[in-house]
């Protein structure tokens, strides 16, 4: 990812692109030449619009030594030489992509994204443009991307690949300064800039061509790649990356490939990270998060989120009209920590029990209508309310004008009583819907209450009225 495992930009070693990083991830940096939203919406693929859950896989040599991916040497927590010595211990000896695919299916995922290359420059595929790969530099000596793409596709999952635009191992990458930065700003940025030396624009162009060559390999040698998940764009400007031309080039390789946002404004959808947004970003978006605090496998990181927390975060995402990309970090041998596997199975179990509230649904009610998560059916005639704790008495829904026909607990079919207060039909005021849920059967992670309406949902978005006539 674009940060170390704790979300910190740097420690001992300063990056001259640090301010660019903050601009990119807080949304305060605007690119006037970026793609218009309506153009992106026209190019978005239906499979992604309909997807609710993806699995993110951070797999690489960093699983050997209990260090964060790439950032550990960038920030000076470990020397570059010691970081690369991890190649000697990366075996992938129990790597079984088909077993992964079976687990992801059970988790309820529709797509998967795996690191093809992180910022350290170590490719998980057999590239002809660099010797730095797990095929050539590790005991694994296998093209892991080949096995991964084949297994996911066979399982009916959409195939995504993470590719770092930056490469802190390639001398050609560090031959120009981030746009707007001066030499004196970058003296300590030995991996991302010339660090006080003169720029070499020709070598920078060679690096851009290198990226293009590797991406052509990924897009040409492994069947259809449905999604490209870029990272690292913050260290250069859109002009330096030649983003308009880059985007066009990618579409010559696959006109239907979905591109994430980390392309200096030239991607197809937004990618908020770790912190769930309070409001859903405009257009399509995806929330990526870790199961513990680390993207890659770290045996010392035992700060795991509970299955209930992950289910709630998932519900928050689909309430706001987005989707979750949930990260796992395999061990160096390719197996998963049993705690990560259990979270995936629990999430999948919950999704299986509540499929109609998840798939084929749309963004839920505004929190002003219901103080909890929800989704709405495609025909606009059913509300699905997410209840995270056992109600003391009732659930309260406000401002829904369409009369309710029936209320049930989705996972049991149990019917719930409902009533209204403050309803003034002659004035258009729908009143407050009360669902008597104090005695309902609750799900261990989140209960879904299904509210069937007489017709398509309509709202009263007013602020209340003075009653001047009573019957």
The confidence score (pLDDT) of residue 86 equals 98
CB 376 within 8 Å of CB 363: yes
User: What pLDDT does residue 9 have?
Assistant: 34
The pLDDT score that the predictor gives to residue 1 is: 67
CA atoms of 237 and 17, how far apart (whole Å)? 10
What is the four-CA torsion angle of 174, 177, 182, 184, rounded to 10 degrees? -10
Question: Is the overall model pTM greater than 0.75, yes or no?
Answer: yes
pLDDT the model gives residue 268: 96
Packing angle between helix 97-106 and helix 338-353, nearest 10 degrees?
40
pLDDT reported for residue 429: 72
H/E stretch holding 216 reads helix 201-220
Distance (Å, rounded) from C-alpha 181 to C-alpha 246?
Answer: 23
Q: Across the 471 residues of the chain, what is the mean pLDDT of every consecutive 10-residue run?
A: 44 50 40 57 87 98 97 97 98 98 98 98 98 98 98 98 98 97 95 97 98 98 98 97 98 98 96 91 96 98 98 98 98 98 98 98 96 97 97 96 96 97 73 95 97 96 54 51
Is the Cβ–Cβ distance between 199 and 176 less than 8 Å?
A: yes
Return the number of other C-beta atoms located less than 10 Å from residue 137's C-beta. Answer: 18
pLDDT value of residue 43:
77
Query: Residue 319 belongs to what H/E stretch?
Result: helix 307-319
Sign of the four-CA dihedral 139, 222, 359, 39: positive
- Cβ atoms < 10 Å from Cβ of 159: 21
Q: How far apart are CA 239 and CA 243, in angstroms?
A: 7
């Amino acid at each position: 990812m674009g940060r170390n495992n704790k979300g910190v930009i740097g420690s001992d070693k300063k990056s001259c692109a640090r301010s660019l990083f903050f601009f990119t991830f807080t949304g305060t940096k605007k690119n006037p030449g970026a793609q218009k939203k309506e153009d992106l919406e026209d190019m978005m693929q239906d499979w992604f619009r309909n997807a609710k859950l993806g699995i993110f896989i951070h797999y690489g040599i960093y699983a050997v030594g209990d260090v964060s991916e790439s950032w550990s040497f960038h920030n000076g927590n470990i020397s570059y030489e010691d970081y690369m010595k991890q190649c000697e211990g990366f075996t992938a000896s129990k790597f079984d992509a088909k077993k992964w695919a079976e687990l992801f299916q059970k988790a309820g995922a529709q797509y998967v994204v795996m690191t093809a290359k992180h910022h350290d420059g170590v490719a998980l595929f057999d590239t002809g443009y660099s010797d730095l790969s797990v095929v050539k530099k590790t005991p694994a000596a296998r093209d892991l991307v080949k096995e991964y793409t084949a297994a996911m596709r066979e399982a009916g999952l959409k195939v995504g690949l993470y590719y770092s635009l930056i490469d802190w191992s390639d001398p050609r990458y560090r031959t120009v300064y981030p746009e707007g930065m001066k030499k004196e700003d970058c003296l300590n940025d030995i991996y991302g800039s010339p660090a006080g030396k003169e720029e070499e624009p020709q070598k920078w162009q060679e690096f851009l061509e290198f990226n293009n060559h590797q991406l052509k390999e990924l897009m040409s040698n492994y069947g259809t790649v449905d999604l490209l998940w870029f990272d690292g764009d913050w260290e250069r400007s859109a002009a330096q990356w030649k983003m308009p031309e880059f985007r066009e080039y990618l579409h010559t390789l696959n006109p239907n490939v979905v591109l994430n946002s980390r392309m200096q404004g030239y991607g197809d959808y937004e990618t908020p990270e770790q912190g769930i947004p309070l409001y859903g970003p405009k257009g399509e978006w995806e929330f990526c998060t870790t199961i513990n605090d680390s993207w890659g496998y770290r045996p010392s990181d035992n700060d795991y989120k509970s299955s209930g927390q992950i289910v709630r975060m998932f519900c928050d995402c689909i309430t706001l009209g987005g989707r979750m990309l949930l990260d796992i970090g395999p061990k160096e041998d390719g197996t998963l920590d049993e705690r990560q596997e259990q979270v995936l199975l629990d999430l999948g179990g919950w999704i299986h029990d509540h499929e109609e509230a998840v798939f084929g649904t749309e963004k839920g009610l505004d929190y002003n209508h219901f103080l909890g998560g929800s989704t709405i059916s495609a025909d606009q005639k059913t509300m699905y309310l997410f209840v995270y704790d056992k109600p003391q008495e009732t659930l309260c829904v406000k401002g829904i004008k369409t009369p309710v026909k029936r209320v049930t607990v989705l996972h049991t079919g149990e019917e719930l009583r409902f009533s209204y207060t403050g309803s003034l039909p002659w004035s258009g005021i729908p009143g407050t819907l009360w669902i008597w849920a104090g005695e309902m059967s609750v799900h261990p992670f989140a209960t879904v209450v299904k509210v069937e309406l007489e017709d398509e949902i309509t709202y009263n978005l007013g602020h209340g009225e003075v009653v001047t006539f009573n019957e």
